[in-house]
Structure 1
Amino acid sequence: MDYDIHLKKAVLHILDTSINFPIFSNNELELGGEISEFLEKHIQKILDDVNLKKAQFIGEVNTARDICAAVKEDGNCFMEASTAFGGIIFDFMLKNVDITPADIIFCLFHVNNEEHLGLLKLNYKTGFTHYVNQMEGGASNSLIRHKTLLPSDGQKVDEAVLISMETGQLKLLEKACEINGAKEFYLSQYIFNCSTALSDNQKLKIIDKVTQKINKKYYDEDFDKVAKLKKVVSDSIGENKEIRVEAIAEEIFETNLAVREEYIQEIQKAGLKDEPIEIPEKIAERKFKTHKIRTDTGIEINFPLSYYDDREMIEFFNNPDGSISIIIKNVSKITNR
């Protein structure tokens, strides 16, 4: 999805725990040209990321919420707010060494005319670059290793928080890090103190996992049920751009009410409520447009889901001996890959 993104202001702070203190900038970034393009591309990627989670501030006392409210009330406190957030995050990083050192960019920007406060954590990456050493005999070129390279505009940002100044809703990309001996999402749990919803990717994983579990339990991993699930989801996306769990269960398991009910209960236990699930186009293309099967004889077939129940294109036969025959029809050309 294309978003209309316009940056208003931004500042970069250095949170490198190897030097034991943060380096806060006293000046905003000069926006325009490559810098604005770099940030806008990353914000676009964040908004399109299938792991992005919606969230809401919680708790009667919430420092992060108060800082955001101050920026909303007076945009002139942007720099002060960015330093406050940077200090909170850096202090937490010092106590939890599993969190990756990074440069953090705070920015104010509009997405489709809605103002947002953004935090982009640009985790350091290691890489090599050339180094020219001028010597008496001329230049000596060598390689040096940089440990503080930032992600390019073609790469993904691992961690980010976007807060709507209008609604107060948050959108997060976060990584689980070891906190007090256990993997936890520190941005939502400790820095911003917010409750998070499941990401689109998590929702689809739940549906896929529960479907496989029920399929294995009742249908001996019948490939037909898996293909049918993907076909039902694909058709629903094509018509409504969303899916509903109960509608899927009804179509897949048809008259078997007990299995259908168990399927819905398992999905609800995993945290997925019966509400429409919007499926981003990228996921739909990758997960629900084709189906891949593998036989015990080593043959793999990847075919468009629209062919699943089209007997003019592909047909499956159950043989008397329990084996399955597959006929691929109306092929005019075969190419090697």
Structure 2
Amino acid sequence: MEYIKEVNINEAIIHVLDNNADEPILNEYALELDEEKYNFLLKHIQKCLKDEELKYGVFNKESNVVKDLSQEYLNGENNLLVVSKEIAKQMFSLMRSKGSIPSCDLVIVSFTTEFGPILGIFKMDYIKNYVHTIEFVDNKLGIDIISQVTGLPGSSQRIQKCAFIKPIREENNFDLMVIDKKSKSKDTEENASDYFINDFLGCSIFDNERDVTKNFVKAAEKFTQKAFAENADKAEVVRSTIKRKLREEDNIDVKKLSEEIFPENNDNKEKFVEFIAEQGISENITLDKEWIDKKLKRVRLKIDKDIDLYVDEETYHDDSRFEIQRNGDGTINMVIKHVSNYIEK
């Protein structure tokens, strides 16, 4: 996966899309990017680029407003103000036609990266904030609290829908990266629809290397829990073997891995391969090594449903500090050694 580390913002424009208005409120000027506004946008960009729900996409062959206009800008054939207005009009038209899409500010950002230029589109749904009001009543000072429903997501909050669009080139594996989260608290028409991907962006989403790697790790753990629910010894062998292969290899061959995990048990070999295939994962997997480094940096163990244990990877493999002892009956002892200090939380 392309992990973008360098982000330099060129320009940005914000438009107001209010469902209570008859027309979108379109800006006539780019934002003046002082240090505060620059950092606000930069933090949102960086947070979205690191989000594990960021997906790869390719534009559909049909003509589409966002596709056509973004490429005009990225190829130097149009300016950001004109392009952003038309993109905002397209989103507002969808909001009015579907009737269930929340009001928002639409922020269009142009920035450069180590992989080239990108046009970012951020649908910033409003956040309810509270502020105080001060007024005099009968010559006495009164202070109250009122709500504001047009606040933008803070830099510590996650944006639900955004897109990072690249110049379309034949050598590219993908045209854009997309986040399209559904609200967990509301059972609305918006949650059931894919308007952002299908109608607005006009693209198709597919799994990238990180998605495939993550799905394989989840499927392998699911199989281990199911197959060895009452045998911690065998479960530990499976998990340790898989982690070692993830660390050592760039690619995983599921059949070969199964043979290494279960050298003397053909039944488990076949069950493992079949289970991984049933989860929609191919037999040969290209691993996302950066995601693996992050994932394996810390081991979290849920022990017999009532003990949580967090151990960093180096300590987990250091027999002088942490050791797995096999009891020969399917159970294991996890021994924490030479404790010189601990705190209670």
TM-score, structure 2 normalization: 0.80
Aligned residues: CA RMSD: 3.4
Between 1:231-240 and 1:163-172, the stretch displaced more is 231-240
Structure 2 residue identity aligned to 1:270: Q
Identity of aligned residues (%): 23
Between 1:202-211 and 1:87-96, the stretch displaced more is 202-211
Alpha-carbon separation, structure 1, partners of 2:295 and 2:75: 43
1:295, distance to aligned residue in structure 2 (A): 2.4
Aligned to 1:275: 285
Q: How does 1:1-337 map to 2 (within 5 A)?
A: 3-112=5-114, 114-165=116-167, 167=169, 169-176=175-182, 183-198=192-207, 202-203=211-212, 206-220=215-229, 222-224=231-233, 227-228=236-237, 230-232=239-241, 234-235=243-244, 238-239=247-248, 244=252, 246=254, 249-257=258-266, 259-273=268-282, 274-280=284-290, 284-285=293-294, 289-295=298-304, 298-306=306-314, 311-312=319-320, 313-318=322-327, 324-337=332-345
Could you say if the C-alpha distance between residues 323 and 279 of structure 1 is closer, same or farther in structure 2, counting changes exceeding 3 Å? closer
1:300, distance to aligned residue in structure 2 (A): 4.2
Alpha-carbon separation, structure 2, partners of 1:117 and 1:13: 15
Could you say if the C-alpha distance between residues 113 and 208 of structure 1 is closer, same or farther in structure 2, counting changes exceeding 3 Å? closer
Could you say if the C-alpha distance between residues 249 and 58 of structure 1 is closer, same or farther in structure 2, counting changes exceeding 3 Å? farther
Between 1:67-76 and 1:82-91, the stretch displaced more is 67-76
1:180, distance to aligned residue in structure 2 (A): 6.3
Could you say if the C-alpha distance between residues 325 and 196 of structure 1 is closer, same or farther in structure 2, counting changes exceeding 3 Å? same
Between 1:168-177 and 1:101-110, the stretch displaced more is 168-177
After the TM superposition, list the runs of 4 or more consecutive aligned residues in structure 1 that deviate by more than 6 angstroms. 177-182
Could you say if the C-alpha distance between residues 319 and 234 of structure 1 is closer, same or farther in structure 2, counting changes exceeding 3 Å? closer
C-alpha offsets along residues 46-102 of structure 1, whole Å, 9 cap, x if unaligned? 212121111111224333322222223445342222122212222222333443321
Could you say if the C-alpha distance between residues 166 and 92 of structure 1 is closer, same or farther in structure 2, counting changes exceeding 3 Å? closer
**Unaligned stretches of 5+ in structure 2?**
none
Alpha-carbon separation, structure 2, partners of 1:302 and 1:187: 38
C-alpha offsets along residues 293-325 of structure 1, whole Å, 9 cap, x if unaligned? 3226x44444344555665432333365x6554
1:130 counterpart SS class: strand
Kept in 2: contact 1:243–1:279 (CA 8 A): no
1:76 counterpart SS class: coil
1:275 counterpart SS class: strand
Kept in 1: contact 2:221–2:239 (CA 8 A): no
C-alpha offsets along residues 139-172 of structure 1, whole Å, 9 cap, x if unaligned? 3221110111111123222221011126472011
Kept in 2: contact 1:233–1:288 (CA 8 A): no
- Count of residues paired in the alignment: 333
Between 1:209-218 and 1:21-30, the stretch displaced more is 209-218
Kept in 1: contact 2:65–2:90 (CA 8 A): no
1:126, distance to aligned residue in structure 2 (A): 1.0
C-alpha offsets along residues 4-31 of structure 1, whole Å, 9 cap, x if unaligned? 2222221101112233532111221122
Alpha-carbon separation, structure 1, partners of 2:300 and 2:63: 49
Kept in 1: contact 2:14–2:107 (CA 8 A): yes
1:33, distance to aligned residue in structure 2 (A): 1.9
Alpha-carbon separation, structure 1, partners of 2:217 and 2:234: 12
**Unaligned stretches of 5+ in structure 1?**
none
Could you say if the C-alpha distance between residues 308 and 99 of structure 1 is closer, same or farther in structure 2, counting changes exceeding 3 Å? same
Structure 2 residue identity aligned to 1:104: L
Between 1:250-259 and 1:26-35, the stretch displaced more is 250-259
